[in-house]
Amino acid sequence: MEVLLYLSCGLSAGLLGGYLGLGGGIVMVPFLTVLAGVDFKAAVPVSATAIVVNSLSSSNEYVKKGMADMELVILLSVFMVMGNITGSNLSQVVPADFSRILFTVLLIYTAFSFLKGRKPTEKLSFEDHRTRYFMVCTVIAFITGVLAGLLGVGGGVILVPTLYLIVGLPLTTARGTSALMIGFSAAASATVYFLNNQVNLQIVAPVIAGIVVGGKIGGRFGTVAKPLVVKVLFFIVMLYLAFRLSSESIMRLF
């Protein structure tokens, strides 16, 4: 029964992560902790490890169709990897409640900003602002990496809106670029967790098996998805994640 739950977790995370350009951790961590009864501290390393596989599986579809900006992947991944290593090492000393509430604030802000999107006139004339906002993006990539390392999520909920709203990439390209970046950064987190002997192999094996299948299917559907559908789904997912991350912490405060 537990193995089936882990397989279902991986399949669900792969489908949603591949479709939206996310790592899938937003599904895995709540799924493992709430439905499978896995401790939060144990779920985070499992999620980080499985995200690597999901990224490779889903981003392959975007890369084959030229929907990933390789220049940004290389440049921003360096800063995100540094953030992931930092966050993974801090995960044992930073209170989980603090991390959850901080990430919740960022998610709510990003959710509404992403849903609003660009003005209609801006959609007609595409402008690439990577040079102008490069430093801003590197800082965001590093902070995203730190938070991803702490919470076991890929960071796509922040990366995709950043690439779309700030850099100016088309939405599909932003999702493909995010999906590939997440793989490099999550590999850094997974390495740290493995070295610290924090990865439960009995859980991670079936999760990865499910995520390989789900990521492939989700990535294929994501390359042909309508932007409006993606925006609405992204908004719902981010608000759901914000609720899951903060509800228990807020209840403990009161």
Annotated domain spans of the chain: 2-253
Report residue 40 CA to chain centroid gap. Answer: 17
Give dist(CA 185, CA 220) in Å, integer: 22
> What is this structure's pTM?
0.74
Q: Which two tokens stand for residue 252?
A: 């403990």
| pLDDT tens-digit readout, 102-122 | 767 867 876 786 676 555 444
The confidence score (pLDDT) of residue 74 equals 92
**Of 234, 59, 85, 211, the residue nearest 158 (C-alpha):** 234
Half-sphere exposure of 104 (CA within 13 A, CB side): 16
Work out the angle between the directed axes of helices 134-151 and 96-116 (0-180°, nearest 10). Answer: 130
The confidence score (pLDDT) of residue 137 equals 92
Residue at token pair 């690597």: 52
In this predicted model, which residue has the larger pLDDT, 196 or 95?
A: 196
Q: Which two tokens stand for residue 220?
A: 């294929």
| pLDDT over threshold 70, residue 225 | no
| pLDDT over threshold 60, residue 8 | yes
Q: Please give the span between the terminal C-alpha atoms of the chain, in angstroms, as a whole number.
A: 36
